[in-house]
Homo-oligomer: A and B are copies of this chain.
Amino acid sequence: MERLPGFRDFYPEPTPHPEVWSADARQYIFDKWRTVARRYNFREYDGPPLEPLELFTTKSGDEIVGQLYNFTDKGQRPVALRPEMTPTLARMIAAHERNYKKPVKWFAVPQLFRYERQQKGRLREHFQFNADIIGESNPASDAELIALLIDTLRAFGLTAQDFVIRLSSRNAWQEYYKSGKPKTESGPAEYQFFQVIDKLERATPEESEKKLSALGFSLHDVNHFIASGKPTAELDCILQNLAARGLRDFARVDYQVVRGLAYYTGVVFEAFDAKGAFRAIAGGGRYDNLVKLVSGNKVDLPALGFGMGDVVLLELLKERKLLPAFDSRTDVFVLIENEGLRPQSLKLVQDLRTAGYAVEYPLTAAKSDKQFKRVQELKAAFTARVENDAYVRIRNLNTRTEVVAGFADTRNHLR
């Protein structure tokens, strides 16, 4: 029986072959995400992977509908597996915002789902590091969030030579739109305009020109605006803040970035590998109206956030050889060569585990050479063999030194 297409199994290392996803690499990534988020004093939250369909369809623009894993549950409720975390966060904030001091700094590590038409190697789920600041409109909070994004990538060993944050602004594009000769002032046509900008890098000039002129703009003028790259006051403020932290080199203004999602309102940004060989590593921006929309006008809070997926990040870390080895996890292998000493050996196993060591031993009677082979496969750091009721022989497999210690004294020789 096969798993569903576009879904992943995660196996322990060493995995059977490179196409098999590693549970250890996944946990390594999750641990780094959590560690850096906590340094920034972001607190973890989570919501259900299944939500009312309405939470996504009414707020995220129509383009998302065709990509949802949606169905009707046995209670006749239209539901969907979450394609993104932000609507859930907005719902949660709207429900309990009075109990949390603003600005709220929260993060989550959700699994997200999209039913996209199957392409080779294209996944229908991924994990995403989501970090958001809610309740602060000052660009100082944009800078705090972007600094978190930069430091998260640095925590994996990536440098300013490896990645760049492309900073842009919906405000700048909105002003550009209004100052042009738009066919309509705002609303759907303005959003269509953003969609064309968002796809400039992937579309042919002819396609873009055609769509832009239909909206009352020209590709030439748009390209000129992008090339000017003059930071707005808001972006300038963010860049200065990053400079004070010593992080200025990681960011640059790039108006080509505009982000696809309908709900963004101010600063938007994307993290890319410096060589441009991968899809975006992360993306985010302000969504000052979303909490109000989701709460039915009950709660009105400015907000911003980013999402960083596990798939592109892992590809990049592999390519830069920044993933550690995950194959050695055993601290001590307790050898049992005399079955008469199995009870005492089990006692030793228990003592060492209670002391915090990762301990393995032969579950059933096994020949010495088979046990030694297993020690080598596991890359155990030590072996320990009960000699009798009183003594244990401990071997350090790195220094190749041996010592015989009293039973209760064993753990003092495991360093």
A62 within 8 A of B: no
Shortest A78–chain B CB gap in Å is: 11
Most buried by B among A95, A133, A241, A296: A95
Do most interface residues of chain A lie in helix, strand or loop, or is the interface mixed?
mixed
Interface string of A4-22 (1 = CB under 8 A from B): 1101111111111000100
Q: Which residues of chain B have C-beta atoms less than 8 A from A26's C-beta?
A: 46
Cα-based distance from A79 to B378 in the complex (angstroms) = 37
Determine how many copies of this chain the complex contains.
Answer: 2
CB < 8 Å neighbour of A9 from B47, B50, B344, B359: B47
Cα-based distance from A106 to B24 in the complex (angstroms) = 12
Interface string of A36-61 (1 = CB under 8 A from B): 00111101111111111011000000
A92 within 8 A of B: yes
Which residue from chain B places its CB closest to the CB of A296 in the assembled complex? B1
Instruction: Contact check, A50 vs B12: say whether CB atoms are below 8 A apart.
Output: no
A356 within 8 A of B: yes
Cα-based distance from A144 to B347 in the complex (angstroms) = 12
Which residue from chain B places its CB closest to the CB of A94 in the assembled complex? B1
Q: List 5 A-B contacts (CB under 8 A).
A: A4-B73, A9-B47, A16-B96, A23-B45, A103-B363
Known: A245-B350, A353-B39. A144 touches B363 (CB 8 A): yes
Q: Which residues of chain B have C-beta atoms less than 8 A from A140's C-beta?
A: 363-364
Instruction: Contact check, A24 vs B44: say whether CB atoms are below 8 A apart.
Output: yes
Query: Which residues from 168 to 219 on chain A have a C-beta closer than 8 Å to any C-beta of chain B?
Result: none
Instruction: Contact check, A11 vs B96: say whether CB atoms are below 8 A apart.
Output: yes
Instruction: Contact check, B41 vs A1: say whether CB atoms are below 8 A apart.
Output: no
Instruction: Contact check, A73 vs B115: say whether CB atoms are below 8 A apart.
Output: yes
Instruction: Contact check, A241 vs B50: say whether CB atoms are below 8 A apart.
Output: no
| A interface, CB within 8 angstroms of B | 1-5, 7-16, 20, 23-24, 26-27, 38-41, 43-52, 54-55, 69, 71-75, 77, 79, 81, 88, 91-92, 94-96, 98-101, 103, 106, 111, 113, 115, 118, 125, 133, 136, 138, 140-141, 144, 147, 151, 240-241, 243-247, 294-296, 329-330, 342-344, 346-347, 349-350, 353-354, 356-360, 363-364, 374, 377-378
Which residue from chain B places its CB closest to the CB of A118 in the assembled complex? B75
Which residue from chain B places its CB closest to the CB of A116 in the assembled complex? B74
CB < 8 Å neighbour of A241 from B141, B151, B346: B346
Instruction: Contact check, B50 vs A7: say whether CB atoms are below 8 A apart.
Output: yes
Q: Which residues of chain B have C-beta atoms less than 8 A from A296's C-beta?
A: 1
Cα-based distance from A364 to B144 in the complex (angstroms) = 11
Cα-based distance from A69 to B245 in the complex (angstroms) = 49
CB < 8 Å neighbour of A4 from B50, B71, B342: B50
Q: Which residues of chain B have C-beta atoms less than 8 A from A16's C-beta?
A: 96, 98-99
Q: Which residues of chain B have C-beta atoms less than 8 A from A100's C-beta?
A: 12
